[in-house]
Copies of this chain bind each other. A is one copy, B any other.
Amino acid sequence: MSKWIWYHGDFEIYHAMKQNFDREERGMTWPAYWYTSNWNHNVYFKRDYEVTHKQTFIVHAKGKGYVKITNLGSDEHESKFPLDTKIESPIGHIRIQVFVSNMQGLPTVLVEGNQIFSDEEWVASNFLGSDVSVGTSKYFTHANQNPMKFEYSQRRLMASKIEIIDGGTLYDFGHDITAQTLFKFNNNFQQITLSYGESRTEALDVLGTYLKHTLKKEKDPLGQYYPETKTFVTKLRAFRYIYVPDVSNLKKIGQLSVNFEYVDFPQIGNFKSSDNELSQIWKIADRTLRLCSGVFFIDGVKRDRWVWAGDAYQCYFMNRYDFFDKEIVERTILGLRGELDIKQHLDTIVDYSLYWLISIELYYETFADKNFVNNIYQKMKRLMDYSLEQTNDLGFIYGRKGDWIYIDWADIDRNGTLCAEQMLLARALQSMVYISKLLGKDDTFYQKKYHDLRQNIDHYFWNATKHAYIDSYESGMKHVSRHANIFAILFGYVGQNRANEIVRSVLRNDRIEPIKTPYFKFWELEALAQIGKYKYVLDEIKSYWGGMLANGATTFWEQFDPTKQGSARYEMYDDKYGKSLCHAWGSSPIYLIGRYLVGLRPTAPGYGTYEINPQLKLLNDFDCTFPLSTSGDKVEMSVHEGTLNITATRPGGVLKLSDRKMTIPANETIELSINENNNWKVKK
């Protein structure tokens, strides 16, 4: 099958630029405030063929250039052919090269022919160094497509509820969506204003809302009026509500609908419990994640719509228990990293570079695709080396001018080098070692860096009196935050005793400032799950995410503070509607439930083997399904009134209950009866 091909990683750089330049705030475009990687504008694609019989092929291209055929036989004769015309291939051992340049866009080609067609067997060059692999996508296989326009799915939606309020009309679409607004005028164009809101409060606050659009008949950068259909189509925006002020008889003027745009990821992961709240948390988390998943995993739908490495890294985990899409992970990894040369930390954030490095190991664990890892290795190594350049004699990483040491929105003692950042560096070094080993590269250097760093972290940051890792040893304040201590457990950097010490003195200690973002809540609960505190994790899921539900959330939020009421709930970043109410990192219950409560995890890369260790005592009756591979494999499990049913479509699975294990055969349903003590026996 012919596929559109491009210089590996460039499709993602192109679309990441598009994504990061698309943010809208109060009528203005707000491009991301960092250095933006460029794709190659001048490349060639190449493949050698042994042609034994007469045949033709055609090269479709986005860009300008030509096709060169070299006879690799004795004469090395070269001939040139134009793009977009039928070419008769010579017989023999030949090399085909397609040279294509594109100033405004992505140079990409699709070669169609019987024997000669473009696919992953081709290589690409930007005229520097060695040839690289080409990039492809399952979405781009037809000559009439344009890889610069992503293949979205679309659905026309009408409001689920319409309300007249304060002389205007309020449309409610039930939950956040990302859509163009279509307004079809009954007669002539008439000026109306669309006041959007993720919350009802925001939509009704016409002066204060984040997104608003007063339709203009001509020259409207935010949309366009089509006189032939009397329809105005706006730019894409995310919202739950649209309020049209000063118009209570809107139906007389025209009809408002929306064009919901999304990437149609398969419905695989599912979880339904007799605990309705938990089922609802799953459902809302799934909706939130899907809305934030398009070309890339983005942070949130209304704002920023940017690709952030920390946020995306969490999505890679959730994806495993939901739609298990490989390409979105690859696109996000490549879009974040950008061009080979590294000039700035990802999104300017040092920790985000480190998460990116760790994500390559996670990618391999999930999909076991050595090709992709091999293709990205140079970009990985350069980012690691770039990061190591900013370490001191102790191996501790520090921020340079313009670098952002984020960690979390929290009051961490930010003097000198920070413990949490060193934990991430250590973890990233482990990933570097893991991937280097995997590809047969020398890992000695990174091994040594890792071991020295681990020793120095314990020596400088562990405080025996506080029974905790302190934020900073340079300030002398010995301030303890949860973050470094969470990482210590999460990354397995402490033994059982010290882990318990940390739980007592930090994680279950109310005097230590609590985590406020779902972002770090993820790591905190995972750390606790890793040391078996499943009950606490479940309770926290129910209280924190359940708390959002109780506040009317139909998608999960960027931040949640149960003490806040009314419109104060929507404020963030000094902006009364600054908080995102549909934020990817709010979806972590998908992962926490799937990975720790249902207990599914791969025990070999790509789920070659896997284990399911459900916490039956904690969960009531439930039904769930989780993906096991990119080719549709899945495991279904249910527990109803003491009977557990499990079916998996691929071998390699092990069910673990009360320290007893049994193999899960492929494509056979096992039925177990379970008593109250979690003792079980096979029913059939």
Nearest chain B residue, comparing its CB with the CB of A343: B128
A residues 102-146 near B (Cβ < 8 Å) are: 103-105, 126-129
* A658 in contact (CB, < 8 A): no
* Cα distance, A65 to B30, chains bound together (Å): 5
Q: Are B80 and A35 in contact (CB under 8 A)?
A: no
* Cα distance, A100 to B348, chains bound together (Å): 18
Interface centre among A26, A29, A129 (most CB of B within 10 A): A29
**How far, in Å, is A105 (CB) from chain B's closest CB?**
7
Q: Are A31 and B99 in contact (CB under 8 A)?
A: yes
* Cα distance, A174 to B280, chains bound together (Å): 82
Q: Are B82 and A31 in contact (CB under 8 A)?
A: no
Q: A21-B42, A27-B82, A82-B27 are in contact. Are A127 and B33 (CB under 8 A)?
A: yes
Q: Which residues of B contact A99 (CB under 8 A)?
A: 30-31, 33
Q: Mark A29-72, 1 if CB is under 8 A from B, else 0.
A: 11111111010111000000000000000000000111000000
Q: Are B66 and A29 in contact (CB under 8 A)?
A: yes
* Cα distance, A622 to B348, chains bound together (Å): 65
Q: Are A26 and B80 in contact (CB under 8 A)?
A: yes
Q: Which residues of B contact A105 (CB under 8 A)?
A: 104
Q: Are A126 and B28 in contact (CB under 8 A)?
A: no
* A633 in contact (CB, < 8 A): no
Copies in the complex: 2
**How far, in Å, is A290 (CB) from chain B's closest CB?**
26
**How far, in Å, is A123 (CB) from chain B's closest CB?**
16
* A341 in contact (CB, < 8 A): yes
* A645 in contact (CB, < 8 A): no
Nearest chain B residue, comparing its CB with the CB of A82: B28
Q: Are A34 and B127 in contact (CB under 8 A)?
A: yes
Q: A64-B21, A104-B104, A105-B104 are in contact. Are A35 and B42 (CB under 8 A)?
A: yes
Q: A28-B65, A28-B82, A80-B28 are in contact. Are A17 and B41 (CB under 8 A)?
A: yes
* A344 in contact (CB, < 8 A): yes
* A18 in contact (CB, < 8 A): yes
Q: Which residues of B contact A27 (CB under 8 A)?
A: 82
Q: Are B65 and A29 in contact (CB under 8 A)?
A: yes
Nearest chain B residue, comparing its CB with the CB of A128: B35
Nearest chain B residue, comparing its CB with the CB of A39: B38
**How far, in Å, is A612 (CB) from chain B's closest CB?**
46
Q: Are B35 and A101 in contact (CB under 8 A)?
A: no
Q: Which residues of B contact A29 (CB under 8 A)?
A: 64-66, 101
**How far, in Å, is A315 (CB) from chain B's closest CB?**
24
Q: Which residues of B contact A34 (CB under 8 A)?
A: 42, 127
Q: Are B31 and A64 in contact (CB under 8 A)?
A: yes
* Cα distance, A25 to B18, chains bound together (Å): 34
**How far, in Å, is A32 (CB) from chain B's closest CB?**
7
Q: Mark A82-108, 1 if CB is under 8 A from B, else 0.
A: 110000000000000001110111000
* Cα distance, A18 to B160, chains bound together (Å): 51
* Cα distance, A25 to B80, chains bound together (Å): 10
**How far, in Å, is A124 (CB) from chain B's closest CB?**
13
Nearest chain B residue, comparing its CB with the CB of A81: B28
The 9 A-B residue pairs with the shortest CB-CB distance in the complex, in nearest-first order: A31-B101, A29-B64, A38-B38, A104-B104, A28-B66, A36-B42, A21-B101, A35-B127, A35-B128
- Can you give 29 A-B contacts (C-beta < 8 A)? A17-B41, A17-B42, A18-B103, A21-B42, A21-B101, A26-B80, A27-B82, A28-B66, A28-B83, A29-B64, A31-B42, A31-B65, A31-B99, A31-B100, A31-B101, A32-B42, A33-B99, A33-B127, A35-B127, A35-B128, A36-B40, A36-B42, A36-B101, A38-B41, A104-B105, A127-B344, A127-B402, A129-B402, A341-B343
Q: Which residues of A come within 8 Å of B, CB atoms?
A: 17-18, 21, 25-36, 38, 40-42, 64-66, 80-83, 99-101, 103-105, 126-129, 221, 341, 343-344, 348, 402
